Structure 1
């Protein structure tokens, strides 16, 4: 069972689990059945209170009679008289507050309207910028009133279990909306927008209550990873330009101008605001691959290091400051396929690992009490949502969801328990190309599939999540798929064929250790070839099929290693510094060395250079050269062949959805296509689970 199950409707409102909230000058306390307005405290009937809660959840939009029946009467048929009586009682209870109006929408339902907050002063930058584009933001402000006190009550209850108590999509148009970031008041969401999966992105704003999006940035650069300042007036984000320049930018929202904050070297620099004057990013230092966290002064641009990862870790990324600004959570990648979430105490400098078993940890968000973290992990099989109390590291509990098509790889939370997540249906194309670039075969899957390599008979070994976890699969030329591994670790990757096409070798991560495994193509005779746990990648049989070569990383040092089923692992002569490795159909070993974009071959223990490949390009070997794909080329990706002793040759265009090349045993190359046609955003609300443990 994976996360791509059907979305279930929200359950009936349970007043005992509803946090207090405020509408205009009236405080509403659902568990106590009380509202306190200008004329004092009034008690409501339970059904009337449920109607008020449901209308408040509507965030100023019309709530249909059917929705009220679902939320307030448990889906039972409700007479018009019963609903009308509740509305009349509610209007009477709210009559003393002039800032609240309960409107009837003919033939539809009802709407709770709340007076707008005071507008910005005339002459301020916000008031002067693009009034037509900010009208939807003003409308959202007028109908959405929440309190931090409500959030504190909700999170302070520390229930045994959590579940999704409400879900609704925020977007539905066919495009790609990623890197969501909720504003501090929960009323707006900023995100990266693109028309196509490989297109340049712009930062857009959208009201959580609904309405049309408004662009914050536009232009030829690739803008993504927005992060709100604590006052909600500015957004920090990353910008990549066509020449490979990375910059951390700051923009005044919605269209108040932008400026450069700092240069960066990695797309993992995703910013977060430590305070109104400090932005935290993850970045590498010159000449090093390992990323650490830096605090950058937004006034002077001065940077100081916040973390120092262990020498053998890949680095630190994805910083998230707690709501009380006292802690900083981040992801520390130990090796490919193994992560941990670490919390840094910003006063003492002490670090504590929240997870220590090595399972992948992707997106994560803080609860409003700054004591709990919700994070995405594959520790239970498919990626799901988990929580951990920062005072009890290592004690993680799964959150009950009942949601489908939900990715928690990137998410954002507001102070009221709302979380915005990405919604997608993964779809992949595994394409065999001839030496001229013409399509000779294509397999389309309703899953995410990658690391695809072709065997001698045309079968494809690849990684797929179609079974709920990232496992090795083999798909034969007729499209029949066989599962080779079943969750033997937190991650499996980089499959490669034996010369006879009967075995597959790959890397599996178990705990904090990565080792080389092999199995027959039907999944039998699983064998572990190494047992040292060092970071490994890209295994490949040699031409004889007797040895397996692979890349090993120790800190900043890379080298080629070899192992046989009967022997111990040992360094390969001439393999010092190799950071990538691929084998052609004829058994020629190609790769790149650290600090060099040149692709070369290992011939008789000596390095033989072939040609450079840019970091943004993908390459795969052939017997007489390498294929090169530029997925970022405009107007569409470009495919090239680099022969020995000659210039690149342009081949047939691979199509707009091509993103990666892999080796083929037969003449030609394997192309991976990203066929997902849309990524949307959804809003979920967490609450205590009933009748279940964590």
Structure 2
């Protein structure tokens, strides 16, 4: 290794979950768990840092070019020089535990990993907390004896503290699939002793099932009409609470059932919301999420299951909702998710005794599930941090940044933990393709093994959509009958609400950058990308008006409102858009929408600030609809099988066809040339539950 080799080794795509562990000098490298293990312990590194380490290690001392690194670690995306430099700097920092390892820069080429041949070539680093002392003189034996006794006492205290306070969770040790059923399984609840799993399952409606985590067939617990979901075990593990909802959209009912074999009874009802999630504060008190009045922010509340009495726990002043509460095992804290905007979540910890809250994580990533570790010192959560889905762990005292527990190969949802080191997690099949519903069948827009969502079609038949086929959500365009091309290279963050301009030359979309949610505009050929808003506030339902200006809905604490983006980038309220929750535009640029408490379809005509009812008495339940030339196309009972229906401006409603496996997380569109309906087909989406064993 005295001469630098400039041979560029060729690598395929580095999939860390499939890379075997290997030794590197005094370190053990575990790519699948993003873990380095040395003589003094183990530590986590970031996903890109581990990819870089694996690439350099595979080169066996040869220099790896910068372009080669970008091809492998960033999938060839265009990145800044600073991004690569930061990754190299973090790798060097991660390898400091072994002084024989060095990441060297090779001028005009790239980098190589060098292992010094002699251990003595570099002096080992000294712990800055270590103090070197001279030997004690023999004439002070009593002082030496006292010191020995003191050390023994301290050692005993440290050992006792270690037994009381376990080491932090650092990785996933192993995992297994617990459910694999055609209907899909969601909302897991793991019993405190880890022996029993309760979850929801069903097609047309959800019922609760129970099974052992070791073996045995599932046992059905509920069979009533409506949906039963969000089970939560009591602290003693002898009861569950769960949520019951029906198809009318009425406030949900909160039920309690003794396990096993007890009858369910109603403990109370939500005030406004048709659904929620639960956790036990103590043996008599539940925490859940609900709104206390129309046009208010959803908050965390408590309910006495004996009296039905309720009270507010959180008092949000901003954001869209507080939800998904989880009580810590010691009962002192309630963790919940505060939704700032679509794809932007904060994790908040509420101190029960002090009645005060503080943010745990507020850097702008989406969070889908969360749970406490058994010592109440860490939080495990599923998130898209870093641009791809994965499991993460965060220290409650924020002593370090959140650490990744798994690589981003699977999409995770809700999480439940037992009193040990096991968690049950929803595992989602994140695949969908865009389909065009034609009179004689279906045609794919541009099939790929990816998650394609939020389509919109322009006047020339080109479909713009969001896809993760490059590894993170990006904007793509597929010409009519042609191959899709990528227009953006953001490398992470949520994107949604894709809309073509009326002339088909520009595309507007919403993207999340850190904690900010704004509207962007780009040309059909990928040129001219610019940010159209800069306030960072929550936004949804982007449309173009007849005047060529962009509109969107802003949902705030004082209610929602249609906003108009002026030419200078400022946003102003649209007259007549008060209280609108869902909005679409027609081919001629008129605005259609419904209000939160009124699902009638309203229309705003340019120049007239007074909305009028578009179709007398017509109401829709689901936000999967689009305006055509002659009426409204919409999906009824969106889900595994939905009915594509059409309601003309005058005349009776009719069903056009049945559509299987409709993705309920995606938008829908029509081709303005012939009103062909475009939607996302999950291809048989699968939702299973996995049991993960954590290691410390």
Out of 231-240 and 165-174, give the one that drifted further.
165-174
Which structure has the higher relative contact order (CA within 8 Å, separation 6+)? 1
Change (3 A) 1:381 1:3: farther
Q: Tell me the residue number matched to 2:249.
A: 244
Which of 515, 521, 535 aligns to 1:532? It is 535
Take 1:479 and 1:374, find their aligned partners in 2: how far apart are those partners? Answer: 43
Q: How much does 1:180 deviate?
A: 1.0
Q: Tell me the residue number matched to 1:222.
A: 227
Contact 1:3–1:383 (CA under 8 A) maintained in structure 2: no
Q: How much does 1:399 deviate?
A: 2.3
Change (3 A) 1:244 1:573: closer
Which of 556, 559, 571 aligns to 2:558? It is 556
Contact 2:388–2:492 (CA under 8 A) maintained in structure 1: no
Q: How much does 1:438 deviate?
A: 5.9
Pair 1:276-2:283 in alignment: yes
Task: Give the TM-score of the pair, scaled to structure 2.
Answer: 0.72
Q: Tell me the residue number matched to 1:319.
A: 325
Change (3 A) 1:158 1:476: farther
Out of 326-335 and 598-607, give the one that drifted further.
598-607
Pair 1:203-2:208 in alignment: yes
Take 2:165 and 2:404, find their aligned partners in 1: how far apart are those partners? Answer: 17
Contact 1:498–1:505 (CA under 8 A) maintained in structure 2: yes
Contact 2:295–2:557 (CA under 8 A) maintained in structure 1: no
Contact 1:421–1:683 (CA under 8 A) maintained in structure 2: yes
Q: Tell me the residue number matched to 1:580.
A: 582
In structure 2, the residue corresponding to 1:654 is in which secondary structure? strand
Q: Tell me the residue number matched to 2:133.
A: none
Take 1:3 and 1:211, find their aligned partners in 2: how far apart are those partners? Answer: 38
Render the CA deviation track for 1:621-671: whole Å, top value 9, x for unaligned: 1122211211259x9522221222333223222346464662323332322
Pair 1:156-2:160 in alignment: no
In structure 2, the residue corresponding to 1:651 is in which secondary structure? strand
Q: How much does 1:585 deviate?
A: 2.9
Q: How much does 1:441 deviate?
A: 5.1
Take 1:427 and 1:568, find their aligned partners in 2: how far apart are those partners? Answer: 37
Contact 2:232–2:279 (CA under 8 A) maintained in structure 1: yes
Q: Tell me the residue number matched to 1:414.
A: 418
Contact 2:249–2:274 (CA under 8 A) maintained in structure 1: no
Q: How much does 1:596 deviate?
A: 2.0
In structure 1, the residue corresponding to 2:424 is in which secondary structure? strand
Which of 442, 461, 473 aligns to 2:464? It is 461
Take 1:577 and 1:212, find their aligned partners in 2: how far apart are those partners? Answer: 49
Take 1:607 and 1:438, find their aligned partners in 2: how far apart are those partners? Answer: 38
Pair 1:654-2:659 in alignment: yes
Q: Tell me the residue number matched to 1:680.
A: 688
Unaligned segments of structure 2, at least 5 residues: 1-11, 24-158
Q: How does 1:474-485 map to 2 (within 5 A)?
A: 474-478=477-481, 480-485=483-488
Contact 2:634–2:644 (CA under 8 A) maintained in structure 1: yes
Q: Tell me the residue number matched to 1:600.
A: 602
Q: Tell me the residue number matched to 1:452.
A: 455
Which of 471, 495, 498 aligns to 2:498? It is 495
Q: How much does 1:551 deviate?
A: 1.9
Take 1:291 and 1:360, find their aligned partners in 2: how far apart are those partners? Answer: 18
In structure 2, the residue corresponding to 1:380 is in which secondary structure? helix
Q: How does 1:116-135 map to 2 (within 5 A)?
A: none
Take 2:504 and 2:163, find their aligned partners in 1: how far apart are those partners? Answer: 57
In structure 2, the residue corresponding to 1:363 is in which secondary structure? strand
Contact 1:316–1:332 (CA under 8 A) maintained in structure 2: yes
Change (3 A) 1:535 1:258: same
Take 2:543 and 2:684, find their aligned partners in 1: how far apart are those partners? Answer: 30
Take 2:196 and 2:660, find their aligned partners in 1: how far apart are those partners? Answer: 36
Contact 1:428–1:449 (CA under 8 A) maintained in structure 2: yes
Change (3 A) 1:510 1:607: same
Q: How does 1:178-193 map to 2 (within 5 A)?
A: 178-193=186-201
Q: How much does 1:177 deviate?
A: 1.1
Contact 1:427–1:444 (CA under 8 A) maintained in structure 2: no
Contact 1:337–1:509 (CA under 8 A) maintained in structure 2: yes
Q: How much does 1:518 deviate?
A: 0.6
In structure 1, the residue corresponding to 2:299 is in which secondary structure? strand
Take 2:164 and 2:481, find their aligned partners in 1: how far apart are those partners? Answer: 53
Change (3 A) 1:153 1:414: farther
Q: How much does 1:570 deviate?
A: 2.8
Q: Tell me the residue number matched to 1:391.
A: 397
Contact 2:554–2:561 (CA under 8 A) maintained in structure 1: yes
In structure 2, the residue corresponding to 1:573 is in which secondary structure? strand
In structure 1, the residue corresponding to 2:210 is in which secondary structure? strand
Render the CA deviation track for 1:489-544: whole Å, top value 9, x for unaligned: 63221110012323210112223322111112343321011112222222222235
Task: Give the TM-score of the pair, scaled to structure 1.
Answer: 0.72
Q: CA RMSD in A?
A: 3.2
Q: Tell me the residue number matched to 2:644.
A: 639
